[in-house]
Structure 1
């Protein structure tokens, strides 16, 4: 799949987006360490970000020396749906293009939601507004998506779940209102994915989602490159999510209207968390 690397952020605890100070509202161009194309992120004044960091759905956190942004969707306050980034037009394949013209006052945040092909369409299970647009993918193959077990994040109404794909296939009969498949699973029934090293050499900007015992969905995006092991431990040890799913890496993108943050990685599926 064709992807753009997201920025490497060097001061994640200073402001919500974890970035060095810039004039309010001015675009900031950051270059990734792997030599891929730079990504532009629009930022708002630090005072606005500081307020958002203490009152909003997304907050900066640190874990094992790595800066992360942690966003929480509460079923009592939020709803979740899926959407697809536009495959043509200006800034196609970005959350920014999808967000153009929308009433951001209803958006708590949005995040990329799984892996896609060259046409930006999901390569695994995908349900939008109760309509299944792509079937569950249980095939073997290369890449992170096929690092079994992979899994599905799905839900209807106020009930949201993460399950590995085999369990989803065996136990889920009713079509949910939303669903997206990605991989690998980060945490499976309280255990880290069996193929993860404690702190392996693969480092990237990554994002994922897990659901805790209270039914809250925890969305996390790293503000600097992180290993799979570190990322998974945050979900297991800090968030206590018995199941958590890796959504993607390098293209990982967050739109958080409360702070003005909108990342511009190339994405396909999007998870939209809306205020009730």
Structure 2
């Protein structure tokens, strides 16, 4: 349970969409979190448009959804990418594998093992540590790989240091043990990996959580007046909702 002294609600969304986003404060840091129920909400990954060009921005995803009679209710960048915005690691969209699983260590945050994979299946969302994902071989409709893991079976990543001085704006996702809840978070001030992981483990009670990125982290959440814009993104995760008539 989050202690009232540690966590303060700053804003609560209107119930226009099933996605709920709110601004919170935890351990002297400010975050925006968005909670998604994958059983009732259309949570999807977006990379390229029908012409094969990367969407890059939330507005391009929203425009594409308009052709389906839908709109974007929430979105966030969802994994590391190369200069051409192709995913660094495993990526699956609509059941099609775009990029294979990368399980070996490497440079940068992505290669800071253990890293992990967010897997979306009908009615559920799960964050898996990569080697566990390979062993289980779940049939994901959508999947994106990133790293490092923030929380692994209730424990913080072993390389996270409480006294770290490396601070960035960071974003990521945690999932409940039964797969019925996904909580996306972005820091609104620069935080360490230890602080960000602690948010998911201790405040949000997520047994598994995955880091998406830092510094370029962005959020689209109209209910809290967020429509971040900047460098073109690679993978984007979002919730599509029927367009209001």
TM-score, structure 2 normalization: 0.84
1:226 pairs, out of 167, 188, 191, with 191
1:268 is aligned to 234
Q: Offset at 1:269?
A: 0.2
1:109 aligns with 2:77: no
1:162 aligns with 2:127: yes
Q: Which moved more, 1:201-210 or 1:134-143?
A: 134-143
SS in 2 for 1:258: helix
1:40 is aligned to none
Q: Offset at 1:102?
A: 3.7
1:69 aligns with 2:35: no
Q: Offset at 1:96?
A: 2.9
1:16-31 equivalent positions in 2, closer than 5 A: none
Q: Structure 1: how far apart are the matches of 2:126 and 2:103?
A: 19
1:178 aligns with 2:142: yes
1:197 is aligned to 161
Q: Structure 1: how far apart are the matches of 2:61 and 2:70?
A: 15
Q: C-alpha root-mean-square deviation of aligned residues, in Å?
A: 2.8
Q: Which moved more, 1:244-253 or 1:54-63?
A: 54-63
Q: Offset at 1:136?
A: 0.3
Q: Structure 2: how far apart are the matches of 1:106 and 1:98?
A: 9
**Structure 1 unaligned runs (5+)?**
1-12, 17-49
- Indicate conservation of the 8 Å contact 1:57/1:108, yes or no: no
1:248 aligns with 2:213: yes
Q: Offset at 1:85?
A: 5.8
Q: Structure 2: how far apart are the matches of 1:204 and 1:53?
A: 31
Q: Offset at 1:156?
A: 0.9
**Structure 2 unaligned runs (5+)?**
1-7
Q: Structure 2: how far apart are the matches of 1:250 and 1:210?
A: 19
Q: Structure 2: how far apart are the matches of 1:141 and 1:161?
A: 24
SS in 1 for 2:237: strand
Q: Offset at 1:101?
A: 5.5
- Indicate conservation of the 8 Å contact 1:85/1:97, yes or no: no
Q: Which moved more, 1:50-59 or 1:154-163?
A: 50-59
Q: Deviations over 1:101-121 (max 9, x none)?
A: 643964330110000001101
SS in 2 for 1:181: strand
Q: Deviations over 1:18-48 (max 9, x none)?
A: xxxxxxxxxxxxxxxxxxxxxxxxxxxxxxx
1:57 aligns with 2:20: yes
2:90 is aligned to 125
